[in-house]
Amino acid sequence: MTETTVQSTPLEQQILTREARIGVVGLGYVGLPFLVEKAKVGFHVTGFDRNEQRAQQVRTGQNYISDVKDEELRDVVERGLVDATTDMTRLADMDVIVICVPTPLDQNLSPDLSFVRSVTEEIARHIRPGQLISLESTTYPGTTEDVLKPILERSGLKAGQDFYLAHSPERVDPGNKRYSTKNTNKVVGGNDPESLRVAVTFYQQAIEHIVPVSSAKAAEMVKVYENTFRAVNIALANEIALLCDRMGLNVWEVLDAAFTKPFGIMPFYPGPGVGGHCIPLDPHYLEWKAREYNFQTHFIALAGETNRKMPEFVVEKAARVLNMDRKALNGSRVLLLGMAYKGDLDDYRESPAIHIYRLLQEASADVIFHDTWTPEVNEHGVVASSVDLTDDLLDTVDLVIITTQHSDVDYQNVVNRAQRVLDTRNATRTLSGKDRVVML
């Protein structure tokens, strides 16, 4: 029996020789790190973004994403490997186009694919035979096949025949010092076998390990499952925190002891809510899609409900803490430590601290915040600036709420000087003199 030899495509040859021109649409938390990684291995990469200021920053090597090293961006720009533009007609010059645009939810928690549709329609106007189009934006299973493919085929070209179409969901963990774009396993699914082969060849050039799956739809399901897994387990930890509050138990003590078991358990911790682009949003993509199949995703719905009510619980507990000193929430000065959704990160997208801030305002508290990582916030109706964390400030506020655990905060000094502290992150666990600290 003779083995069948698969003839490589011209695009695969261009990829292997680094002659393929790469376009990355969307230069945010996913797009910019991806652009830099591809340029580092010798590809010429053009970033596309509607924001001219952002494109100008990339062109001049000015970094604005913490997961990208300043010197690495400057290096690939100085070597002439990176460009950025708002001119979408240049998509026709690209051999590979990677879509990294936002996929938010609307006010009804339904998927908003307006950015994906807009970019795909733009690509369709400039598509040419032989290109690879890969969607990295997180979305519900079936988006690549049911949304992108029909739009692109309006051009008269056919996926799998005239161009290649794939989905490879981003796996970015902002602020993670161990796992980057390069060393995070990359799931890739194609519209057809040839599209999968070409896409795998492309991603192999800059990422250490590729995980091929049978279809773009399977790859989309992988991503939403990953984030749903986290959302459900965080919700369980949050529900245990609510129960421990009722029972007068320290939830952190309970969980730390439970996690000493060497098998059958995985650490997840409670907090003031969930933030970032993934955990608060992505599970609802799967929940929404499941309704098309007359299937109710009870775990996902309950997890979302539990996580969304945590900011309200924090504010309710803040009122109880103030009551210990015979103070009302109305009129009390409350300092939030941290507005980013994650420690040592400059990202406040969907941060629970934003919702806590707004709820405190609605309760007529005099609320302020300190965060050197996110000195300005503007989201969900909250527009505010960070204040300096001085001893005088700590001496005068009625309550400090630790909403984000940043390493640049002297929590011992906070505990020593503040009248009351509500710790939602277990940031004070190893500190002395905690008689004025109340845990979540």
Q: Catalytic residue numbers? A: 278
Determine contact, residues 111/105, Cβ cutoff 8 Å: yes
370: left (phi over 0), alpha (psi -120 to 50) or beta: beta
Task: Please report where in the chains the tokens 């003199």 appear, as a residue.
Answer: 433
Determine contact, residues 124/87, Cβ cutoff 8 Å: no
Label the pairing between strands 96-99 and 186-190.
unpaired
Paired residues of 84 in beta bridges:
47
Residue (of 200, 192, 197, 194) closest to 216 by Cα position: 192
Paired residues of 188 in beta bridges:
212
Exposure string of 130-153, with b = 16+ CB inside 10 Å and e = fewer, is ebbbbbbbbbbbebbbebbbebbb
Cα atoms found within 13 Å of the Cα of residue 106, Cβ hemisphere only = 8
Q: What is the DSSP letter of 336?
A: E
Contacts of 299 (CB under 8 A, 6+ apart): 228, 232
